[in-house]
Structure 1
Amino acid sequence: MARVRLGVAERREELLRAAVGQIEARGVAALRIADVAAALGVSSALVLYHFSTKEKLVAAAFAHAAQDDLARLRALLGRRASALERLHGAVRWYAPTGDAKGWRLWIEGWAAALREPALREVALDLDRQWKTALAQVVAEGTAAGEFACADPVSAAGRLTAMLDGLAVQMTSYAGSLPRTTMLEWADEALARELGVERAAFDRPGK
């Protein structure tokens, strides 16, 4: 059966999804243009037509994944709920679940970013946007009198650093840290940053 002819934007979307899948399966170092092409049944020349080099394809694939993650984060933080509930939901979502495919992708990305400036910029931009989104909700909750946080930006930075570290340990050393323990530590850290009791997250709806 002949392949459906796709527009430029649709084709790029297809190629980026395939690249993300191949990075998750093979890692950045082992990834080849031919792997992405084979996954879709297209030629390597078509992949190169859209991205010209493996480095550009990898950077674009991570940017694509980043936008998906940010959209999910913004949906959680934009709910009709208290700032405390929204922040707690975002922290819970951030924790790895199951086989942690998403986290394996980002650990691969961080490692590759040490050598690839374009990928480093993608990772840095995601980090900035994540922290900005968290800090904004912390500031909203403080202004509404839900909790007290003198420096929302620093609080978002500390929370992100802790969650990143815990997630890397859970993903890299399977079984070394139960997810229940990670979530408890994350709740304790969030409570400290917001100046509330840890028990505040145990109430219905939290």
Structure 2
Amino acid sequence: MSSVWAVVLAGGLARRMGGGDKPLRLLGGRPLLDHVLARVAPQVAGVILNANGDPARFAPYGLPVVPDPLPDHPGPLAGILAGLDWAAAQRPEVADILSVPGDCPFLPPDLLARLEAARRAAGVPLACAASGGQTHPPVALWPVALRGALRTALLDGERKIDRWTARFGCAAADWPATPRDPFFNANAPADLALAESLLPSE
């Protein structure tokens, strides 16, 4: 069993979805979060949920819920830092955190293994996913040891994931985008409708 924990990023404002919690929107009769957890949980030692507001709405999942450590919704880097901070405080044996968005229902079953392999092959501390010639910076593997540097960058105003990871070196692990992009994300109601059409290939 891997010692890596995952943080599911669900701290955004979901403006394009009309607000509310995107991971609790239904896909195939189940919340998006159910699909994400079904794919990620078997790959990791445990899962943390990054979400702001009242954590009670996620109580049925029995997961640690950690809010952004900075105010005003500074973006996914803040959610990643929340996961790194939680691991450092609660699971000091954990060296790495896998981050995944809470609106990606088709994540690949070999996500962690391939990110670890890409990072190792490139000799760099970070790795992110890619598909169809496009990188997906929020789907990445993060050393807990970089949390101090990440906090400093956030406090200095950094909000762009790939600009920050480039300082340290970030490998990309590539997946095919066909017949279905494993990193498809449901940002808007139309995306949920499209995801419904992709479900039969589950």
Band the TM-score falls in, shorter-chain normalisation: under 0.3
Structure of greater relative contact order (alpha carbons < 8 Å, 6+ residues apart): 2
